Amino acid sequence: MSKKVAFIQGNEAGAYGALYAGCTFFGGYPITPSTEVAEVMSVELPKIGGKFIQMEDEIGAMAAVLGASLAGAKALTATSGPGLSLKQELIGYGCIAEIPCVIFNVMRGGPSTGMPTGPSQSDVMCAKWGTHGDHPAICLVPASVQETFEEVIRAFNLSEKYRTPVMIMPDEIIAHMRERVVFPEPGEIEVVPRKSPTVPAEQYKPYDISFGDVPPLASFGSGYKFHVTGLNKMQDGFPTTKADIVQAEEERQVRKVNANVDDIVTFEEYLLDDAEVAVVAYGSTSRSARYAVNIAREQGIKAGMFRIKTFWPFPDKQIKALAGKVKGIVIPEMNLGMCSLELERCAQGQVPVLGIFRVDGEPINPDQILEKIKEVK
Amino acid sequence: MSRYELRFSGAGGQGLITAGIIMAKAASIYEGKQAVQSQSYGPEARGGASKSEVIISDGPIDYPKVTQCDALLAMTQEAANKYSHDLKEGGVLLIDSDLVIDIPPGNFKTIAFPIINTAKNDVGREIVANIVALGAMVALTGQVSRENAEKAVLSSVPEAFIELNRKAFSVGFEKALAASA
Amino acid sequence: MAYDYEKYIRPGKLPHIWCPGCGHGIVMKGLIRAMGTLNLKKEETALVSGIGCASRLPGYIDCCTLHTAHGRAVPFATGIKMARPEMNVILVGGDGDGTAIGGNHFIHACRRNIDMTYIIMNNYIYGMTGGQFSPCTPTGDKASTTPYGNPDPGFDLAKLAIGAGATFVARGTAFHANQIDKLIVEAIQHKGFSVVEILDDCPTTYGRRNKYKSVIEMMNRLKEIAVPVKAAEKMTAEQLKGKVLTGVLYKEEIKPEYTAEYAKVIERAKAAK
């Protein structure tokens, strides 16, 4: 039997990816250019007995998602820049209380209302530094409609595996463009279930580190009773200000991700073996970059591309190695140099990092990248 | 390279984004090619400038936007003025002859017929002008077969409007052939 | 016979953080009695709060407890109730948490009529942060941020809930301790969004700034201003000046409950599939 295919938008693919991953709850608030995610979920979730709720605001949507997740549902919200800003406090709540969920954020021009229908890549720093305090951050940046479908599944898997909110951030071009998607059969892509407790209810502690850095999470209403707070907490979930416990718990929460970078970080290397110029790109911009690299090769220039698929944690190790073998790095991005700073940090001065930064709501075209490739001496 | 670039442009509410989607769907789902459709639009649901871009190729498509346009549909004078500059030499320009009075200069083939009035008078409903235009674009570009394009049209419209759209597509296709002969 | 409060108290979590003379403990005891009357199963009951003194209450109660962020108890609880409509969902919090930062969520939960019970301890002040005025502080009163008297008019919390569409609204006071559990029992039994406002006292940050000489004086005031709804029917407007009505202020059973309505959405979606 041939597989089901459809010609759909990135946003729609994201919603179908969530359903494939076992999402049964969506809490959202309408915002351009992400609204199609909510629309698809409002159609599809009740068909499988899932729940869709349009909340009164972005913060309420994030809160509902966290509440539903604590009650055992795999939960999704979708938003865009201004909404992401509003959700930040509760994203931090999800981090400290260690509640899995997925935030699908479509990057549009900013700050503030900015350019609601214009593409941008200027939320990538907000994904890591948006909420206050030290916390883990995982952020995926898909570059096609098919990849959006697949990466939403991975986002859910990572959120369950590491018991933390995960962001997926397509830019507006990826979110709104249409491509063919081939839907995998059930079972074809791994779906990670929530790690539930195995101990009797009376022994259960929601942050029991005897189970490792990622303790099992029970659900409200499943026979377990426990306490959850946004305060610094002990293993039993109750607040504490004891210095040694707070320090150890904070470090554990960040270590969950930082000690597993190799499991989380994904990237694509394109024609890099003999490359003298490396274009580092992500999201829709990587499509322009690949086009430019192909033309550069036709013209005898040894160019290649490193495509970032996981923005956070950042591929530090790979970029450092890359900087050690090329003459220069070119970074096109639809912001004023966010990834560029990370590249400079990782390259440690080994090679120049040349940026192409656009915030005018227009995509970076291949010609601009080709021109910059030629500047690397 | 087999990359072929189309742009459907005009005013918001003319259904051009839909026309672009159907063209891309015809190529991607029915013709066995690869296709990407993207769009840009203003805050208005009706009126304002609107464009839908479609890239069709035998292989993977990287850059999803038009670099040098092979075929342009312009349903307003503003769109014709704005988007004909990157139309390729030897490319195709399809315009609504009632709405685009000043034909932009260039080394491309211009085909003109009253698209909206054709929808109104020959098909019976102005609302299907976008499908008339699509039929014409299919005929003029040859990127997808008439049969596959028609399948894409019929799979994209509500059941009650299948015959209306079939007719619109067919009339557009024939008119374009006649106008370019 | 003395009531056995131990059943719903979390072992080892007392003493509580509240000041001597604060009414929150009275409300907590009322809630515990109500839970006991209804014999609520701990594993099937979620107790959700925001931030503030009153919002520390769930930590002391032995059930599924969630201490959320400031103002966000209602939307967290909404997520829980949607995901598991079979759970009993009770919210507790203060006037600032519920009607200022959480005010938007509050009115929308009233509008949806989602089956949860929200107990708001209204002590007219932000106690935890040291006594700033809240949307419920009476005009003219002193707070740490109204040193010249409060220029803001206050909310009538119960009227706000009724106006926004809640289908059960009651009011009690920390003085009338024996009434609290009865109001909460009726609220929990009500199918829809129920609000129980408990007029409360904060001797530490409100009383001392507003010339109350003692906790007893504050309690006496609650006693004096409270007029049961039934009694009020026989009173003139002049007699009711400066009084507040207590008891069940509003109740209706016509408006559909939200999770039941969503169950119908599921039925329709499945039928259309």
CA pair distance A84, C149, nearest whole angstrom: 38
B76 pLDDT higher than 90: yes
CA distances from C129 to C51, C77, C97, C211 (A): 10, 24, 12, 20
Residue C97 lies in domain = 5-272
Cross-chain residue pair B25–A7, CB shorter than 8 Å: yes
CA pair distance A101, A334, nearest whole angstrom: 27
A1 pLDDT higher than 90: no
Subunits next to C (3 or more Cβ pairs <8 Å) are A
CA nearest C249: which of C202, C200, C190? C190
> What is the separation, in whole angstroms, between the first and last Cα of chain C?
58
Nearest chain C CA: its distance from A42 CA (Å) = 10
Predicted-complex ipTM score: 0.97
Tens digits of residue pLDDT in B109-154: 999 999 999 999 999 999 999 999 999 999 999 999 999 999 999 9
Q: Select the residue of A64, A93, A221 nearest C84 (Cβ to Cβ).
A: A221
pLDDT given at position A7:
97
Residue B87 lies in domain = 4-180
- Residues of chain C neighbouring A72 (CB-CB closer than 8 A): 83-84
Q: Select the residue of C63, C67, C78 nearest A230 (Cβ to Cβ).
A: C67
Residue corresponding to tokens 């990127």: B143
Cross-chain residue pair B64–A284, CB shorter than 8 Å: yes
A92 pLDDT higher than 70: yes
In this complex, whether C and A touch, counting 3 or more CB pairs under 8 angstroms, is: yes
CA nearest C261: which of C53, C117, C114, C65? C114
Which element (helix H / strand E) includes A92?
helix A81-97
Cis before C138 (ω within 30): no
Tens digits of residue pLDDT in C67-89: 999 999 999 999 999 999 999 99
Cβ proximity of C126 and C132 under 8 Å: yes
pLDDT given at position B50:
85
Write out the DSSP string of C192-232: S-EEEEEE---IIIIIGGGT--SHHHHHHHHHHHEEEHHHH
What does DSSP assign to residue C101? I
pTM score > 0.90 for this model?
yes
B48 pLDDT higher than 80: no
Nearest chain C CA: its distance from A7 CA (Å) = 20
Percent with pLDDT over 70 in chain C: 100
A257 pLDDT higher than 70: yes
Write out the DSSP string of chain B: ---EEEEEEEETTS-HHHHHHHHHHIIIIISS-EEEEEEEE-S-SSSSEEEEEEEEESS---S-S-SSEEEEEE-SHHHHHHHGGGEEEEEEEEEETTT--SPPPSSSEEEEE-HHHHIIIIIS-GGGHHHHHHHHHHHHH-SS-HHHHHHHHHTTS-GGGHHHHHHHHHHHHHHHHHHH-
How many domains in chain B?
A: 1
Q: What are phi and psi of A348, to 5 degrees?
A: 50, 40
Cβ proximity of A332 and A279 under 8 Å: yes
Chain B CA closest to residue A288 = B63
- Residues of chain A neighbouring B53 (CB-CB closer than 8 A): none
pLDDT given at position C160:
97
Q: Which two tokens stand for residue A119?
A: 């593409």
Is some CB atom of chain A closer than 8 A to the CB atom of B32?
A: no
- Residues of chain A neighbouring B36 (CB-CB closer than 8 A): 177-179
Going A218 to A220 to A223 to A225, the CA torsion angle's sign is positive
Write out the DSSP string of C145-193: TBTT---SPPP-HHHHHHHHT-SEEEEEESS-HHHHHHHHHHHHHSSS-
Place B12 in a pLDDT band, splitting at 50, 70 and 90. Answer: confident
Cβ proximity of C161 and C153 under 8 Å: no
How many domains in chain C?
A: 1
Mean pLDDT of C198-216: 96
pLDDT given at position C1:
53
Best residue in A220, A224, A232, A241 to probe C by mutation, most C CBs within 10 Å?
A220
- Residues of chain B neighbouring A177 (CB-CB closer than 8 A): 36-39, 64
In this complex, whether B and A touch, counting 3 or more CB pairs under 8 angstroms, is: yes
Cβ proximity of C27 and C174 under 8 Å: yes
Write out the DSSP string of A250-272: HHHHHHHHHTTHHHH--EEEES-
Instruction: List B37's β-bridge partners, or say none.
Output: A178, B54
Nearest chain B CA: its distance from A7 CA (Å) = 6
Is some CB atom of chain A closer than 8 A to the CB atom of C271?
A: no
Cross-chain residue pair B35–A294, CB shorter than 8 Å: no
Buried b (16+ CB within 10 A) or exposed e, B76-86: bbebbeebbee
Cβ proximity of A128 and A312 under 8 Å: yes
Instruction: List B52's β-bridge partners, or say none.
Output: B8, B39
The residue type found at C261 is: E
Which B residues, 51 through 70, put their C-beta within 8 Å of a C-beta on chain A? 61-65, 67
Tens digits of residue pLDDT in A29-40: 999 999 999 999
CATH number reported for the structural domain that contains residue B168 in this entry: 3.40.920.10
Residue corresponding to tokens 């079979």: C86
- Residues of chain C neighbouring A68 (CB-CB closer than 8 A): 79-80, 82-83
Beta strands at A178-182 and A353-357: parallel, antiparallel or unpaired: unpaired
Q: Select the residue of B28, B40, B42 nearest A7 (Cβ to Cβ).
A: B28
Nearest chain A CA: its distance from C123 CA (Å) = 23
C156: left (phi over 0), alpha (psi -120 to 50) or beta: beta
CA nearest A35: which of A74, A83, A69? A83
pLDDT given at position A287:
98
Is some CB atom of chain A closer than 8 A to the CB atom of B180?
A: no
Is some CB atom of chain A closer than 8 A to the CB atom of B42?
A: yes
Cross-chain residue pair B62–A290, CB shorter than 8 Å: yes
A19: left (phi over 0), alpha (psi -120 to 50) or beta: alpha
Beta strands at C125-126 and C132-133: parallel, antiparallel or unpaired: antiparallel
Residue corresponding to tokens 């040291």: C130
Q: Angle at the Cα of A298 (from A292 to A300), degrees rounded to 5? A: 105
Cross-chain residue pair B63–A366, CB shorter than 8 Å: yes
Going A216 to A221 to A224 to A228, the CA torsion angle's sign is positive
Place A112 in a pLDDT band, splitting at 50, 70 and 90. Answer: very high
Cβ proximity of A206 and A228 under 8 Å: yes
A-C contacts at Cβ under 8 angstroms: 147
Cross-chain residue pair B39–A176, CB shorter than 8 Å: yes
Tens digits of residue pLDDT in A331-341: 999 999 999 99
Instruction: List A312's β-bridge partners, or say none.
Output: A139
Place A206 in a pLDDT band, splitting at 50, 70 and 90. Answer: very high
Q: What are phi and psi of C228, to 5 degrees?
A: -60, 145
Mean pLDDT of A91-112: 97
CA pair distance B23, B17, nearest whole angstrom: 10
- Residues of chain A neighbouring B63 (CB-CB closer than 8 A): 287-288, 290-291, 363, 365-366
pLDDT given at position B45:
62
B162 pLDDT higher than 90: yes
Cross-chain residue pair C265–A46, CB shorter than 8 Å: yes
pLDDT given at position B43:
64
- Residues of chain C neighbouring A69 (CB-CB closer than 8 A): 79
pLDDT given at position B97:
97
> For residue B57, how many other CB atoms are within 10 A of its CB?
18
Residue corresponding to tokens 């969503």: C262
pLDDT given at position C130:
95
Cross-chain residue pair B36–A177, CB shorter than 8 Å: yes
Tens digits of residue pLDDT in C30-71: 999 999 999 999 999 999 999 999 999 999 999 999 999 999
Cross-chain residue pair A178–B37, CB shorter than 8 Å: yes
Domains and CATH numbers, chain A: 1-264 (3.40.50.970), 266-375 (3.40.50.920)
CA nearest C38: which of C81, C84, C7? C7
Instruction: List B10's β-bridge partners, or say none.
Output: B50
Tens digits of residue pLDDT in C175-195: 999 999 999 999 999 999 999
Q: What are phi and psi of B38, to 5 degrees?
A: -140, 170
Tens digits of residue pLDDT in A343-363: 999 999 999 999 999 999 999
CATH number reported for the structural domain that contains residue C35 in this entry: 3.40.50.970
CA distances from C262 to A47, A332, B166, C259 (A): 12, 46, 39, 5
pLDDT given at position A258:
97
Mean pLDDT, chain A, rounded, equals 97
Q: Which two tokens stand for residue A58?
A: 């972005």
In this complex, whether B and C touch, counting 3 or more CB pairs under 8 angstroms, is: no
Residues in CB range of C101: below 8 A, 6 or more apart = C50, C70, C71
